[in-house]
Amino acid sequence: MKKFKDNYHLSEEEYQEYHQQLKIIKDLFDLNDYDQFKKEVQSLIYREDDFHPVIYKIIRKSIAPRYKSFIYHLKDKMN
């Protein structure tokens, strides 16, 4: 995050805002319910305006296509 702040010359306020956006993503991984995680990831995809373009790119390119592999262990708990 520090490198992100330096690269984009963010103010402290902007930095805190984007840090909070990343926290939303990190908090997903604390969920213990497969369906809830899936629902939350899918909702993030439609919230492009709520995120800095770089953070949204992380969501679209890194998290959304692979969310099932991130939480597959939770699906096993459902059965």
pLDDT at 57: 86
Average pLDDT score over residue span 16-24: 89
Residues 6 or more apart whose CB falls under 8 angstroms from that of 31 comprise 37, 40, 71, 74
The count of domains in the chain is: 1
Q: Indicate the pTM of the whole model.
A: 0.68
Positive or negative, the Cα torsion across 40, 41, 47, 50? positive
Residue 9: pLDDT band (50, 70, 90) is: confident
Q: Which structural domain range is residue 61 located in? A: 2-78
Q: How many CB atoms lie within 10 A of CB 70?
A: 14
